[in-house]
Amino acid sequence: MQTSEPDVRAMLRRHANAFSMRPEAPPVVERRVHRRRSRNAAFGAAALGSVGLVIALAVGVIGASKVPGDGREADPGVPQTSLTLVSYLLSDSQSGETGGDPDTELRDHVACMRAHGFDIGDPVRTPDGWTIAVDPSVVDVGSNAWREAAFVTCRLPLPASGNFILGLSKERVDRFVSCVSEHGFDLPEPALNDKGAYVFDLTVTDIDMNAPEWNRVAFVTCSPDVAP
């Protein structure tokens, strides 16, 4: 029997052609599509204001050794005095906002963190997003307890973009990808953005960025600063 690459191709075509599926969409599919669209439309409107904040939080905290604003890696031995929440998808100039109070979600986040014993500062508007001041002598941002509170218990709503961004070296990104994979979350190949950060498009995966399981694995278990 000849089983060269053309044979494999022919075998795949043969079996694919033997599979039949009606081209008419079953009513249940149409109903599910309409339900999903309604839900997405409602969520999109609610989440618009916090798009940039959540994404940036992922960079600011997982990439805690990153110098805010310039894309360089800082000396890991230098304590960070603030977490910078930078908007990548909905920058201030894009949103047309000139300042003002933080979104309700951000305010709720801070209140929740304080209720859990983490004395963080009020959100402050910056040219590229928001900053929450954190005093490292008061709050251990490397601790699992802080990460659990920040990203699971008091987490902000998910970004509508579905992007997950890591401002880390390739080696640490690879380590992170392996870790989350071991915990059941397979990430797609990341793209590099213009700030040198690795961007994962989670819309092509089954990962629900709102799910506590994902946030716990991503921000607590596999956080590069605490992973084994």
Partner 1 sequence: MEVGIADQRSSRIAELYALHAPRAGRVAYLLTGDPELAQDLAQEAFVRLMGRLGSIRDDAVVASYLRRSIVNLARKHWRRLRHERGYVRRGGADPVPPTDAEPDLGGRDELWRALGTLPYRQRAAIVLRFYEDLSERETARVLGCAVGTVKSSVSRGLHQMREGMIGDADIRT
Should residue 32 be labelled a site residue for partner 1 when binding is judged by CB under 8 A? yes
Should residue 170 be labelled a site residue for partner 1 when binding is judged by CB under 8 A? no
Name the one range near partner 1 by CB under 8 A: 48-56, 67-75, 200-208, 213-221.
200-208
Should residue 210 be labelled a site residue for partner 1 when binding is judged by CB under 8 A? no
Instruction: Indicate which single residue of 2, 75, 96, 98 sits in contact with partner 1 (rule: CB under 8 A).
Output: 2
Instruction: Indicate which single residue of 56, 87, 204, 215 sits in contact with partner 1 (rule: CB under 8 A).
Output: 204
Taking the alpha carbons of 101, 102, 104, 109 in that order, is the dihedral positive or negative? negative
Closer residue to partner 1 (CB): 119 or 208 = 208
In whole angstroms, give the CA distance from residue 209 to residue 228: 23
Please, what is the Cα angle at 94 between 92 and 99, to 5 degrees? Answer: 25
Name the one range near partner 1 by CB under 8 A: 17-25, 81-89, 101-109, 216-224.
17-25
Name the one range near partner 1 by CB under 8 A: 27-35, 50-58, 79-87, 91-99.
27-35
Should residue 138 be labelled a site residue for partner 1 when binding is judged by CB under 8 A? no
Query: Which of left, alpha, beta for 158 (phi over 0: left; psi -120 to 50: alpha)?
Result: beta
Please give the single-letter amino acid code of residue 226.
Answer: V
Should residue 169 be labelled a site residue for partner 1 when binding is judged by CB under 8 A? no
C-alpha separations of 58 from 46, 100, 179 in Å = 20, 23, 16
Please, what is the Cα angle at 84 between 86 and 68, to 5 degrees? Answer: 90
CB of 185 to partner 1, least distance (A): 11
C-alpha separations of 6 from 17, 19, 134 in Å = 16, 20, 61
Instruction: Indicate which single residue of 135, 186, 208, 213 sits in contact with partner 1 (rule: CB under 8 A).
Output: 186
Name the one range near partner 1 by CB under 8 A: 81-89, 105-113, 118-126, 181-189.
181-189
Closer residue to partner 1 (CB): 111 or 191 = 191
DSSP result, 66-119: BPTTT-PBPPTTSPP-EEEEE-SSS-HHHHT----SPPHHHHHHHHHHHHTT--
Query: Which of left, alpha, beta for 100 (phi over 0: left; psi -120 to 50: alpha)?
Result: left
Which residues make up the interface to partner 1 (CB under 8 A)? 1-5, 7-9, 11-26, 29-30, 32-34, 36-37, 39-40, 184, 186-189, 203-206
